[in-house]
Amino acid sequence: MSRKILLCLAATVALAACKREPEAAPALPEQPAAATPAAGVASTHAFSAGIDPGDFGELVKTLASDEFEGRGPGTAGEEKTVTYIRDQMQRIGLQPGNGDSWFQEVPMVETSADAATAPTLEAGGKSRALTFGTDIVVGTRTGQAEVKLDGSELVFVGYGVDAPEQQWNDYAGQDWKGKTVVMFVNDPGFHTNDATLFEGKRMTYYGRWTYKFEEAARKGAAAALIVHDAPGASYGWDVVRNSWSGPQYDLPAKDDPAPRLPVQGWISAATAKQLFADAGLDLEQAYEDASKRGFKPVPLKAKWSVDLKSTIAQKTSRNVVGVLPGSSRADEAVLYMAHWDHLGKHEGETGGDNIYNGAVDNATGVAGILEIAGAFAQQEPRPARSVVFVAVTLEESGLLGSQYYVAHPTFPLDKIAGVINIDAMSVAGRARDITVVGSGSSELEDILKPIAAMQGRVLHGEASPQNGSYFRSDHFNFAKAGVPALYADGGEDLREGGRGAGRKAAEDYGRNRYHGPGDEYDPASWKLEGTIEDLQAMYEVGKELAAGGAWPNWYEGNPFKAARDRMMAGKAKAAAGAH
């Protein structure tokens, strides 16, 4: 996600209308008895057939336990995590999915910024030190142990967007070498509620912080700072602080050769307000000005200097890949995915709980794909297509594990019929709806819709499209490559308590647990009957797709359709040439 995300747990009212509530959840096909667990599995739990709440809870409890140390990539917690996932795939009866290996090595550069870093800001005739974690969080993507900026000029660039198709360029008319660009998060028009700009309330990729840093690097800037505001980012400053503290990860430049910023980070709203005031500007008015066509960059009459020291290490993380070979179309695949990583431990903190267990985010997703794998392994008849299960790493670092997988797929991308991503499942109970993040994207939704109807449910898009959840999880790398991808989650209109209860549960998670040490497994409060119903729906989508020769595409007008069309045309041409 992703220093990511609040995903589809965003706390807002669902948009879809609801059907009459059935008396009980409709029964889906019963699965045959489970196979005997493989030798060597470190668990006394007796796993049952099919998708089972007890099994799911056991998997989450283990993955989110303190023993796994927050599942930080490159740590002892990773070794325990990937070994456990491999053991579960073996127990289920999958085969190694990367040749004869269960693992796909993902090279990474680990960068740990010195938390004592105190940049100096000169503005309004005054100089002050900025406190790391309170006023500012910064890091480098260069892989250099020390990066210095000395008196870099700060320039306000609105939303930091260059979108030719929107006739919008916040960078026009300047040379950016040596300068630091300061910008807002989200899209132009978001803060002014201008529905005529970009896609109105629905965030585009231009609104994501990842894009903003990438674009600043392409322009040649020395540094970029994003002004934090909770509505625009969809999370509070504590999430920024927690996510950017401790080790940060990147793919090596040879695997990701795009330009990189020497220094990038966030400044708090209070810091930004003072910075703008010292320049004789009003921050609230700046939001208005930045959302007007024809906006021009504004010098902030300020400079800053920073001596950023970091500890750099070359490491390797791992994706875990298992496959259930198809019975008759084994060279074609349906792919399920979930990220296993979380934020690890924050050793520098004192007092309290320093382990970020990541139970919802994303032990639930890993447990989910394992439960679905178990259902496929016992399915009769066996699926015609192969079904691939990938637990990816480094999602919390910018979707890097899935980015690497897409660049080095175990099945050719033109042989993957569809991708189903499971990330941060709802544990609030059964719902009358299913949230499709990025609703209206692909024909995979046409498969899900009747399955949801069987459960007495309806589909709707995420109720907070301004959060940009579609760009914050691993399916997005497949989408950019053209492969249709579905990212769906539990609904918001709960059968017990309605939308109000769903909103309260989401707000509670976002405020008290998301990207914090409070995201722990809680069997007393988790209502897994709804989670299991969601998993059954995701299983049924893959089951239908794995059964035959359908090749879903993106809907007409979707920006990823062209890539899929080219991909499939190339495959057809190659097949014709082979004959």
Cα 335 to Cα 338: distance, rounded to the nearest angstrom = 10
Residues 6+ apart with CB under 8 A from 281: 156, 298, 300
Question: Which of 252, 239, 248, 316 minimizes the C-alpha distance to 78?
Answer: 316
What amino acid is encoded at 444 in this protein? L
As to burial, measured by CB atoms within 10 angstroms (0-12 exposed, 13-18 middle, 19+ buried), residue 17 is: exposed
pTM comes to 0.81
pLDDT of residue 348: 58
Element housing 489 (H / E): strand 485-490
| Spatial separation of the C-alpha atoms in residues 473 and 402, rounded to whole Å | 9
What the block records as the tokens of 286 is 């700046």
Beta-strand relationship, 298-324 and 95-96: antiparallel
The residue written with tokens 């991808």 in the block is 485
Name the E strands within 232-327. Answer: 248-250, 263-267, 298-324
Burial class (CB in 10 A: 0-12, 13-18, 19+), 443: middle
Q: In degrees, to the nearest 5, what angle opens at C-alpha 365 toward C-alphas 330 and 17?
A: 100
Q: 124 with 75: CB under 8 angstroms?
A: no
Half-sphere exposure of 120 (CA within 13 A, CB side): 10
Half-sphere exposure at residue 315, Cβ-oriented, CA atoms within 13 angstroms: 22
The answer to whether residues 367 and 81 touch, using CB atoms and an 8 Å cutoff, is no
| Distance between CA atoms of residues 67 and 111, nearest Å | 24
**DSSP labels for 404-449?**
HHHHS-SS-GGGEEEEEE--S---B--BSEEEETT-SSBTHHHHHH
- Given the structure tokens 């309260």, which residue do they identify? 504
Cα-based angle 542, 343, 404 (whole degrees, multiple of 5): 50
pLDDT tens sequence for the chain (579 residues)? 443 333 333 333 333 333 333 333 333 333 333 333 433 335 689 999 889 999 999 999 999 999 999 999 999 999 999 999 999 999 999 999 999 999 999 999 999 999 999 999 999 899 999 999 999 999 999 999 999 999 999 999 999 999 998 999 999 989 999 999 999 999 999 999 999 999 888 888 899 998 999 999 999 999 999 999 999 998 999 989 988 888 898 999 888 888 999 999 999 999 999 999 999 999 999 999 999 999 999 999 999 999 999 999 999 999 999 999 999 999 999 999 999 999 999 875 546 789 999 999 999 999 999 999 999 999 999 999 999 999 999 999 889 999 999 999 999 999 999 999 999 999 999 999 999 999 999 999 999 999 999 999 999 988 777 778 888 899 999 999 999 999 998 998 999 999 999 989 988 888 888 888 999 999 999 999 999 999 999 999 999 999 989 999 999 988 899 999 999 998 888 877 776
Please give the full DSSP string across 520-576, using - where no structure is assigned. ---TTT-BHHHHHHHHHHHHHHHHHHHHS-----BPTT-TTHHHHHHHHHHHHHHHH
Helices (H) then strands (E): counts for the chain: 14, 21
Q: Cβ distance 456 to 19 under 8 Å?
A: yes
Residue 60, amino acid: V
The 10 Å Cβ neighbour count of residue 529 is 12
Phi and psi at residue 152, to the nearest 5°: -70, 130
pLDDT of residue 17: 31
pLDDT at 466: 78
Q: Coil, strand or helix: which one is 60?
A: helix
> Which residues on neighbouring strands pair with residue 423, listed in sequence order?
none
Task: Say how far apart CA 476 and CA 399 lie, in whole Å.
Answer: 8
